[in-house]
Amino acid sequence: MRKRFPWRQGNAIELMVDGETFFPRMLSEIDQARHSLLLEFYFVTPGMIAEKFIAALIEARQRGVMVKLIVDGFGAYRFIRADSQPLQKAGIDLVVYNPLSALKLTHNFARDHRKLMVVDQQVAFIGGTGLSDVYWLSEAQGSPWHELMARVEGPVVADAVNLFNQLWQRCTAQQLPSAATLGQPCGDADVRLRTVQGLYQQDIKSSFLHRVNRAEDKVWLMTAYFLPSFSIRHALRSAAKRGVDVRLIIAGPYTDQPWVFHASKRFYRRLLAAGVKIYEYQPRFLHAKMAVVDDWATLGSCNLDHWNLRWNLEANLEIRHSESVQRMSEIFSSDLHHCIEVTYDVWQKRPWHRRLKEVVWAWISHLVLKIK
């Protein structure tokens, strides 16, 4: 069983919306790194953003900074083939998590979906981004993807270091320098690192359920892929029935997984009937994952869907800090202006061909989830 991290007091947290905000900050921190850089990303693709990070990491290594990079064997497949050699030639240690192989069969489904960067064991970035042009520069319809990242300083950064080190040791049998002591308090935010380790540890889900089941005011959830477990659906319905303001912002017509967009619709009827408000984000692909429940919030890589919770490694930050929770509520409220609300009456009148798509993709998704 992996270590569970406690609440850490005395952190400073900054919330950043979209790639044009967080990529320059991340690159600036790399340029200022003096001792170590730890990076772990699922989705990495060749392009301008990857080139900027490659150049910054190589320059850091040339000035003596230790640079360790973990990328996923599926999400970074094209990057590994096209761009990994310059990094390795510069002396940067690159680990590929679970490389694809026909011999692994269903073990290929196990993926590292975390998005994490730690600088000098002092600053951490955690959220939902990959290192890809789709988060900022893509000209494709529905892009750039809408995303959130958090920059944190303080004692919780030590937990991010140790989380990275656990996976590095698991993949390489090499032990990196641990964060032996917690960083000095530098703010007033209580923050906790939460993880999912496939079926073996689902702390992100458990913590969210705990909060929803005790919610008194609001449950606002934003997610890219809406295939929630029965326990989450039940908790959302129950909260709405007892008068809690339950709102969901879900990816709309722009998505990289159209089948999920259709399959998720099978959950709408009972949620809407219970009083849950559902909104579909319209201008581009909503890839952000965050929730606000009363005075508590979470954001990170986890979509709380069946697939994430069964196969993936995930990392979220939980926050108890009035200013940060208020900021996340403001982001949520702002995004509502770019959504179309799905009402129960309208939903009941949708055309037959949409219903057919929902049934077909729901059946297929059910079969996929039965894979052992």
pTM score, whole prediction: 0.94
Per-domain residue ranges of the chain: 10-188, 196-369
* Cα–Cα nearest to 271, from 210, 230, 331: 230
Low-confidence spans in the chain with pLDDT less than 70:
1-3, 180, 352, 361-372
Q: Which residues of 280-290 are buried (b: 16+ CB within 10 A; e: fewer)?
A: bbeebbbbbbb
pLDDT at position 180 is 65
pLDDT at position 233 is 95
d(CA 25, CA 17): 12
- Residue range 318-339, pLDDT digits in tens: 999 999 999 999 999 999 999 9
pLDDT at position 1 is 43
Helix then strand then coil, in percent of the chain rounded to 5, is 40, 25, 30
Q: Do domains 10-188 and 196-369 have the same CATH topology?
A: yes
pLDDT at position 358 is 73
Side chain identity, residue 61: R
Q: Which residue's entry shows tokens 């032990």?
A: 175
pLDDT at position 372 is 52
Q: Does domain 196-369 have CATH number 3.30.450.40?
A: no
- So what's the architecture of 10-188 in CATH? 2-Layer Sandwich (3.30)
Helix (H) or strand (E) holding 253: none
Do 9 and 190 form a contact (C-beta atoms < 8 A)? yes
The neighbouring-strand residues paired with 170 are none
The neighbouring-strand residues paired with 37 are 67, 119
pLDDT at position 371 is 56
Do 324 and 148 form a contact (C-beta atoms < 8 A)? no
DSSP state of 247: E
d(CA 282, CA 286): 8
d(CA 210, CA 206): 6
